[in-house]
Amino acid sequence: MENMNTKNLIYDISTGYIKSYSLKVILELEIPSKLKTGPKTIKQLCEECKGYSEHGLYVLLRTFSTMGIFKEDEEIDRLFSNTEISETLINDSNKYPWVNDSYLQVTLLPYFNQIEESLKCGKSMATFNNGYNDGFDFIHKENNVKKYFHNTMTEYTRNQINSILEIVDFDKFKTIVDLGGCQGELIKKILDKYPLNSSMIEKGVNYDLKQAIEKNEKNYKDNRYFEKMGNFFTDETVPIGDCYLVKYIFHMFSDNQVLQILEKIFKSIKFSNQNEVCIYIFDHIIYKNKTSIPISIEFHTINILNGGKERTFNEWNNLIKSSNFKIDKISNLPNTLCSFIKLSLK
């Protein structure tokens, strides 16, 4: 007899695109935002969403209501309201920060019609075929993608900051450099935890591309906080520090590119005549037959980010062996799907 759980699982996978594209329509029409002030009928929503039939919009909202996204009134016909779940999709990143990730994922949907080609040739054909040099060129030139991407990365950081602060004692370092720190959230929280008058930390540097930093708010008051615009690959060195943070960066690059970045760190250290340094890599480690990362992330590295990949324990180990550093510790980051790898000089 056919196992119904197996059948339902396969059915859910094979029809997943329907949910994804339907969610894309919901977000593009901003239905959750339109219901923010209270329940509305399908007719009212259609008047606000030009070009959609009442029947089509009703099928869309009715389907999502069976999943707990929206609620259809049991007495008044075709009247819908938000639920706790659909409220998180209101286009207000201050109140509902994870909405950026939802918008990012559905914005990338059309590019997945080229996933088969990307898998065959090992290159991100979704970006190449659409006229971009690589995933970063794509993110930079597509304004919506750029906004959602940077806001999502900041929210991932916020979600993991407490775990990072719990496992790492930053008080023994003088200069902490966050490579690819985006909006500087992690460095700011470290400086907040270790105030000027009671810690060794003299400087916290947020280093990232110009397009990632130039629109950052300038209202953080700690004078130890600095922002440095730069590029891993074109700059001769990276900012000098005795502690480097590399969070969700290396999985976006090939092994050769990762080694280039580690070499830039090594040059910076040697230039400052330092004998000791710590590098904390916060990234994914793939464990066989286990759910160690969200499925979307691994496919984005293949389809969108040219050369990027998720790595197994052995792949991380072999990669670091090819650099001027050695692994001191590998562990899971508490309460997350992220791991951290601590490096020091060989």
Give the C-alpha distances (Å, rounded to integers) separating 2 from 5, 15, 271. 9, 19, 66
Tell me what the pLDDT averaged over the chain comes to. Answer: 86
d(CA 33, CA 72): 16
- Average of pLDDT values for 268-288? 85
Is a pLDDT exceeding 70 seen at residue 119? yes
User: Closest by alpha carbon to 63, among 9, 13, 19?
Assistant: 19
Which tens digit of pLDDT belongs to each residue from 179-237? 999 889 999 999 999 998 888 999 999 999 888 888 788 888 899 999 999 998 899 88
d(CA 260, CA 39): 55
Confirm whether 284 is a catalytic residue: no
CA angle at 270 for the pair 269 and 273, rounded to the nearest 5° = 90
Sequence-separated (6 or more) residues with CB below 8 Å from residue 88: 96, 98, 99
Residues 240 and 268 sit within 8 Å (Cβ to Cβ): yes
Is a pLDDT exceeding 90 seen at residue 102? no
Range name among 13-17, 46-50, 117-121, 219-223 with the lowest pLDDT average:
117-121
Range name among 50-59, 109-118, 279-288 with the lowest pLDDT average:
109-118
pLDDT the model gives residue 109: 79
Is a pLDDT exceeding 80 seen at residue 153? no
pTM of the entire predicted model: 0.78
Which tens digit of pLDDT belongs to each residue from 57-88? 999 999 999 999 999 999 999 999 999 999 98
Residue 226 β-bridge partners: 205
Exposed, middle or buried, 122 (CB in 10 Å: 0-12/13-18/19+)? exposed
Place 294 in a pLDDT band, splitting at 50, 70 and 90: low
Catalytic one among 140, 150, 251, 284? 251
User: Closest by alpha carbon to 150, among 71, 243, 212?
Assistant: 212
Is a pLDDT exceeding 50 seen at residue 299? yes
Put residue 307 in one of left, alpha, beta given phi > 0 → left and psi -120 to 50 → alpha.
left
Q: Which residue has the higher pLDDT, 342 or 154?
A: 342
Which tens digit of pLDDT belongs to each residue from 125-142? 888 888 888 777 887 788
Sequence-separated (6 or more) residues with CB below 8 Å from residue 75: none
